Each structure stands twice: as C-alpha cells, then as structure tokens.
Chain A
Amino acid sequence: AQTVTQSQPEMSVQEAETVTLSCTYDTSESDYYLFWYKQPPSRQMILVIRQEAYKQQNATENRFSVNFQKAAKSFSLKISDSQLGDAAMYFCAYRSAGGTSYGKLTFGQGTILTVHP
C-alpha cells in the first residue's frame, strides 16, 4: 500500500515571500501521479498542481512549482510571491496510474499554511 507523509503540520510565510511545503511518499509502483490540493476555509478541495511520475520535468503553474525527486520519493511544493489568498490547508496526494485502484487518491496529513500581511 502507498503512504504519503507531510511532516509539517503548520507553516507560515510573509506576504510576497516564498514558502516550500514538504511531502514524501512510499510506493513500489513505477507509474503514478502526484498532486497538491488546496483546501481553503470554505473546505472546497482545489487542485493546485499535478505531476506525472514518468516526466522528469518539474510541473509549474504560475506561482506554484514542485520539486519532484523520484528516487528520493519526494514531492515538495514551492509557492512564490505568497498572497493572502494562499492561506489554506494543503494536501499532497498520490494516485496509481492504473490497476484496480484506478482513480483512488491517498492523501498526506495536510499542512496548514498561514500568510501574514
């Protein structure tokens, strides 16, 4: 079974600064997907960024980028130029690329991000 670990229960950052959220995972599979989801106070889950394991290039989405280290099974999220609206709980998630567990997500424990003005 796959596991996802987020070792930072809480993080804080000043507005306009950069912050990195950590995530490690454990799997014996070679093909999978990794995600970062954001859950603001409304509790609506929002996809932030996605990484396919077979791609070596790190994914980027505007101010959000990841550092994907497949051998180390590490998948960190960097938020640049942090904004007040970035304040939320962030979840790292793993998904197998196929098989009987298709579509099933395994989530990390979450990291609460506070942005200070």
Chain B
Amino acid sequence: GAVVSQHPSWVICKSGTSVKIECRSLDFQATTMFWYRQFPKQSLMLMATSNEGSKATYEQGVEKDKFLINHASLTLSTLTVTSAHPEDSSFYICSAPVQRAAKTQYFGPGTRLLVL
C-alpha cells in the first residue's frame, strides 16, 4: 500500500535554531500534502496545505514565516520551523491523499520536536 515517510523521527534542538522536517510519498505522487501538529493526548490540528508548484495554504492562526513549507517535487514536502522556541515543541505529522485508494489519506509516522 501507499507509504508516507517522515525524517527525522525525532529531533532535539536549541532555542533559536531552525529545524527542517521532510515528508515523502514513497510509491505515489502527491500534488497535495498536509501538515498537522499534535500535542499529547490531543487531536491533530491542521497547520497548512502544501501544494506542489505553488505556495502553501496556511490555516488561520498559523504563522507562515514561522513554519515555512516547500513542496519541492511530487514526492517531497518540507516543513521548516524557523527560530524555534520551547513552545514549538510538539509532534508534527504529514499526510497525503491517495486518489486511487478511494479517496483515503495516508499519514507519515510523525516527527517529535523538542526545543530546549
């Protein structure tokens, strides 16, 4: 079945540094990918929609200069957390809709970010 990978699976960084998270669709092309943020025992909050060949669409309240999204190819989207602060510590998940699979969506395994 369709697989979505994320790298790294977890990262620790110092406050003020930038962190890049990659999301790849391994056996299908994804013109659209979604980025979510999840706090412990809470729901997934959609941050933005990544579109190949165009700018990302951010949800209300999400700082686009803080969370930079680049959809470099049909199989890769990246999320860069710029000038990270402790409050950015969270679990970040990407997903991609799969047309041929009856409109379902596949999720990456997630990236745990800890900002010290």
Contact = CB atoms under 8 A, between A and B. Distances in A.
A110 B42 contact: yes
B67 interface: no
Contacts of B91: 43
A62 interface: no
Interface in A95-117: 95, 102-110, 112
A43 B46 contact: no
B26 to A, nearest CB: 14
A58 B34 CA distance: 28
Interface residue SS majority, chain B: strand
B46 A91 contact: no
A92 to B, nearest CB: 10
A44 B41 contact: no
Interface residues of A, number: 21
Contacts of B44: 45, 91, 105, 107
Query: Which of A47, A108, A112 has the most chain B CB within a 10 Å cutoff?
Result: A47
Given A33-B103, A50-B104, A104-B49, A109 B109 contact: no
A24 to B, nearest CB: 15
Contact of B95 (A45, A91, A109): A45
Contacts of B42: 109-110
B43 A110 contact: yes
A89 B41 contact: yes
Interface of B: 32, 34, 38, 41-44, 46, 49, 91, 93, 95, 97, 102-105, 107, 109-110
